[in-house]
Chains A and B, each alone.
Chain A
């Protein structure tokens, strides 16, 4: 059996979804952790230093490439699997069976698409200006110098972006989509990689629901904190 055969069977394709999904879950922990520095109440100094570390240190930069590969694989495989699975029942039912499963478990592709749409907006708001120089009107407050080191003022960028209430609403709604995507995805990923022991399964389900609430809630608090001036 080749690795190609291993990852292209129906179970193998799910393994790709699960492994990339778990990698993205780990990324969310790092992202939420770093962003939590905005609540240090120091005018964004700690947050900008953390951002500078991520941008200038080699390990996060290498992981960043892995992150883009992971996201890309997760999206492509997700869409391919969804289309393939849908094609397996050419004539549908008159009455659909909806009681046996949760709506968000059946709607992973839609929830994932909402998260993807958010991601495009989010990259445009923060990643592109930080990495590629970005939009002209933000550029003026994009950098500041401390002890001879030039820092990207990502904190200032957040302040600017989150003055727009529509963007704040879109960010909060996206966090809702992410929450439901994680509510199914977290435990499903572990089932797919083979965790069947009842003891671990209960533990993973509990952690999964907790994760799906806490992480998106933390993310949703960020635009709200800036919009309502809870941070200085």
Chain B
């Protein structure tokens, strides 16, 4: 199978550290194969920058299989680039045309401060999970897997919510920098399962409180998060979260 090579311009946000103001820098990148992944293209650029004695572009990545949630990048005005239901690491250069200028920006939100270049600090998500995104289990013998019957449809919905990899694309896409799709996926995942029932009310209240403390915006149901989510988490989870919150806040002491 034949492949083509292309020459591109890459306009990247460069920022030395959290406190130094950043700016866009445009690089010419030549001889990129359309079979390369997007991150491989950045690897090629970074190799060149290192060879030339420059500072390589910092960007987050880990598994490069679309499952870990580490990669980010706001590419040409969309989190994770132009493809649907796709992470940046699974984006390939055939999505672009020869001679194109690709604009790469970091996730923009006050709650995701820039560490360096395109790398942002997403530990706010970790703290939201720590506030209640878990179930408490007493130690003892392992419980038989089939001892708690779960309706298939509910198990499927819970699994669909659990697909969230916590990449933060929802926050990056949202005009309000709201973390509601992420939070609703975590809350729905456990609210749908019997194991999540005992801490159901305290969980949603604690997690919403932590989300607000982290400085994320409020949801206005525009749907941008759902449209960009690499795992296609449904926005109906946000409505479920709202129901959980309303019920829990009305009945809480």
Q: Which residues of A contact B (CB under 8 A)?
A: 1, 5-6, 9-15, 81, 84-102, 105-106, 108, 184, 187-188, 190-196, 198, 201
* Contact in complex: A1, B108 (CB < 8 Å): no
In the bound complex, CA of A14 to CA of B252 (Å):
19
Residues 213-236 of B, flagged 1 when their CB comes within 8 A of A and 0 if not, give 001111111111111100000011
Say which residue of B11, B218, B225 sits within 8 Å of A13 (CB atoms).
Answer: B218
Say which residue of A10, A94, A95, A198 sits within 8 Å of B236 (CB atoms).
Answer: A198
Closest Cβ of chain A to B120, distance in Å, is 11
* Contact in complex: B220, A108 (CB < 8 Å): yes
For the A-B complex, the count of residue pairs with Cβ-Cβ distances under 8 Å equals 150
Task: Please count how many residues in chain B sit with their CB below 8 Å of the partner chain's CB atoms.
Answer: 55
Looking at B105, B216, B220, the one whose CB has the most chain A CB atoms below 10 A away is B220
B130 within 8 A of A: no
Looking at B103, B211, B239, the one whose CB has the most chain A CB atoms below 10 A away is B239
Say which residue of A6, A14, A90 sits within 8 Å of B218 (CB atoms).
Answer: A14
B78 within 8 A of A: yes
* Contact in complex: A10, B239 (CB < 8 Å): no
Which B94-123 residues sit within 8 Å CB-CB of chain A?
A: 103, 105, 108-111
* Contact in complex: B218, A84 (CB < 8 Å): yes
Say which residue of B224, B227, B239, B250 sits within 8 Å of A191 (CB atoms).
Answer: B239
* Contact in complex: A11, B245 (CB < 8 Å): yes
B87 within 8 A of A: no
Known: A85-B177, A97-B173, A97-B228. A191 touches B76 (CB 8 A): no
In the bound complex, CA of A50 to CA of B38 (Å):
67
* Contact in complex: B237, A196 (CB < 8 Å): yes
B10 within 8 A of A: no
In the bound complex, CA of A106 to CA of B242 (Å):
20
Chain A residues, CB < 8 A from B79: 97
Chain B residues, CB < 8 A from A192: 219, 221, 239, 242
Chain B residues, CB < 8 A from A15: 242, 246
Say which residue of B205, B217, B221 sits within 8 Å of A10 (CB atoms).
Answer: B217
Known: A1-B249, A194-B240. A11 touches B227 (CB 8 A): no
Residues 167-193 of B, flagged 1 when their CB comes within 8 A of A and 0 if not, give 000000101111010000000000000
Chain A residues, CB < 8 A from B236: 196, 198, 201
* Contact in complex: B240, A99 (CB < 8 Å): no
The chain A residue with its CB closest to the CB of B246 is A194
Closest Cβ of chain A to B85, distance in Å, is 13
